[in-house]
Amino acid sequence: MASSSPVLDRACALMKGAERPLIWAGGGAVRSGAGRLVAELALRLAAPVITTYLGRGLVPPEHPCAVPGPIHARAVGALWDEADLVLAIGTDFDGMMTQNWLMPQPRRLISVNVDEQDANKNYVSDVTLVGDARAVLEQLLPVTEAREGLPDLERRLAAIAASVAASVRDDDEQGLPDPVSL
């Protein structure tokens, strides 16, 4: 895929027009070694990064765009609901991560995947960038315009972290059994 390809231009146009982008990264991004590039793209877009179970560790937890909790946490799920663009990197949106596909189709979706059919089997992409995640992001990052909003995102993610922690405390206070002692 050349850096001036129409599909890459379309992806850039969608990212430029997004007000609330979200990055959803999975095992394919991990396998390709795209962590640094995902982290850089998130900073450039001021976009939160949700990782799937197979994507854990892709972006360090202290990264300013790393979402502090699983998609199933209400405050984290709100990021999906509010996103006007989801950039899916190395994922096929499996049932476990999407609550058996109960999460609605994103308003706009850009998928990065080595397999176009796999990228579109559960949610239909507006643009599919076919290729290894690292190779695609190496082409996408230099042509992606930087957005404002990182301080606001950091405040939002801090509030989400507090909400997730409160939810865990509430579960503990309700006397739910400790799985280790069962």
Task: Please answer whether residues 49 and 9 qualify as being in contact, where contact means their C-beta atoms are separated by less than 8 angstroms.
Answer: no
Q: Looking at residues 162-170, what average pLDDT do you find? A: 82
pLDDT confidence bin for 165, thresholds 50/70/90 = confident
Pairwise CA distance, residues 110 & 103, whole Å: 16
pLDDT at residue 86, as a whole number: 97
User: Which residue type is seen at 141?
Assistant: L
pLDDT digits 0-9 by tens, 87-140: 999 998 876 777 667 778 899 999 999 999 988 888 999 999 999 999 999 999
Q: What is the pLDDT of residue 36?
A: 98
CATH classification code of 6-172: 3.40.50.1220
Share of the chain above pLDDT 70, in %: 89
Average pLDDT over residues 4-17: 93
pLDDT at residue number 18: 96
Domain range list for the chain: 6-172
Q: Is 163 helix (H, G, I), strand (E, B) or coil?
A: helix
pLDDT digit string, tens, across residues 72-99: 888 888 999 999 999 999 998 876 777 6
